[in-house]
Amino acid sequence: MSKKLKEKSKNTQKDSTFNVDNEIIIGIKTLPNPEENKKKTQKRKNEKIKNTTKKSKTTKTKKKTKNKEEEFELKLGIEDEKVKPKKKKKKTKKLTKKQEIARKKRKAFLRLVKWATLILLLIGGGIGFLLSSFFNIKKIEIVGNNKLTRDEAISLSQIEIEENTFKLSKNKIEKNIKQNAYVESVKIKRNLPSTILIEIEERVPTYMITFANAYAYINNQGYFVEISKEKLELPIITGYATKEEDIQLGERLCTEDLQKLDDILQIMKAAESNEIANIVTKINISDKQDYVLELKSEKKTVHVGDTSNLSTKMLYIKEIIEQNKKIEGEILVNTDLNNKWAIFRKKV
């Protein structure tokens, strides 16, 4: 007990002692403790340094995370592009019959337009190539001409060297060359790339008719091929009905004379087979029922009649000529040879 009392008294003494630091005096400010101030300032500095280091760390970590995230996103994007699942086709609604027909028509039309444009482009390119200077004419060849000279044929054709071969009109060239009465037919051929071949078939004069102190040459089709004063070694047709004003180069005998010419061709064919045609000098066609041949070298005139029994008639004519060489007279085979013989009537 005494010890406890002593300790209490000591404590009361200690408490009763005046301590300036612990006491608050009115009107007097307490002075700060220098050690505490130092500690506080040091703490503040340490906290600032920690905050700056934390901020720098957080910014770095943020940047790193951002970079990682970007790389990751890029990788994911590439992988997504590589391994993108195919989108499932949306189920289309079923079209009605009319819509289906319209759709098919539309597709067909578009396909047609596509092919049409392609074909037009090809055609355009082809035409451009064909009309180029590669196909310009360098040479003209003429074959089959006899009376018609090469220069005359080229002049009539109106073809010019260095003209494009595909610009020529074959029909026009043929028509131009046929202006010459001797030309029967013309064929134009393109020997690509630069040659034109003109094939000509000429008319051959086989008979003549007297015309205004001259001779008009005609062929087997009755075309007038030439008018000349020169007498050829051809049979002269007399008794024709064609008017003089109609006798022009390239024209034909009148219809009546053409029909008679057809009979003459049959008679001359039969005469040729019996070696008589080459001695016929004149043929009178005035009477269709009695054609008359003149054999000048044999001094005889033959009344053939019509074109019936020509082979038999020619046999009689040949026999009479052989039996009456160089004797002037008339041979009559224009009768009924089935019942009568051919007659030779000497000229008195």
CATH number at residue 310: 3.40.50
Residue appearing with tokens 């004003």 = 245
| Counted domains in the chain | 3
DSSP SS3 for 186? strand
Domain region containing 342 = 205-346
**Domain assignment present for 65:** no
Co-location of 157 and 115 in the same domain: no
Rounded (to 5) percent helix, strand, coil in the chain: 45, 20, 35
**Domain assignment present for 12:** no
Spatial distance between the Cα atoms of 134 and 164, rounded to a whole number of angstroms: 8
Q: Which of 202, 229, 259 corresponds to the end of one domain?
A: 202
Question: Helices 310-323 and 255-273, interaxial angle, to 10°?
Answer: 60
- CA 252, 255, 257, 258 torsion: positive or negative? positive
**Count of all residues that appear for the chain in the document:** 348
Per-residue pLDDT 10s for the chain (348 aa) are 444 444 444 444 444 444 444 444 444 444 455 555 566 666 676 666 656 555 555 555 555 555 555 555 555 454 445 445 555 555 566 778 788 888 888 888 888 998 999 999 888 888 888 888 999 999 999 999 999 999 999 999 999 999 999 999 999 999 999 999 999 999 999 999 999 999 999 999 999 999 888 999 999 999 999 999 999 999 999 999 999 999 999 999 999 999 999 999 999 999 999 999 999 999 999 999 999 999 999 999 999 999 999 999 999 999 999 999 989 999 999 988 777 789 999 987
Co-location of 192 and 250 in the same domain: no
Co-location of 330 and 197 in the same domain: no
Spatial distance between the Cα atoms of 320 and 302, rounded to a whole number of angstroms: 11
DSSP SS3 for 319? helix
Spatial distance between the Cα atoms of 7 and 58, rounded to a whole number of angstroms: 59
**Neighbour tally for 333: CB within 10 Å:** 23
Co-location of 190 and 248 in the same domain: no
**Of 197, 79, 207, which Cα lies nearest the Cα of 142?**
197
220: left (phi over 0), alpha (psi -120 to 50) or beta: alpha
Distance of CA 173 to the CA centre of its chain: 21
**Domain assignment present for 267:** yes
**Domain assignment present for 163:** yes
Question: What does pTM read for this prediction?
Answer: 0.63
**Domain assignment present for 318:** yes
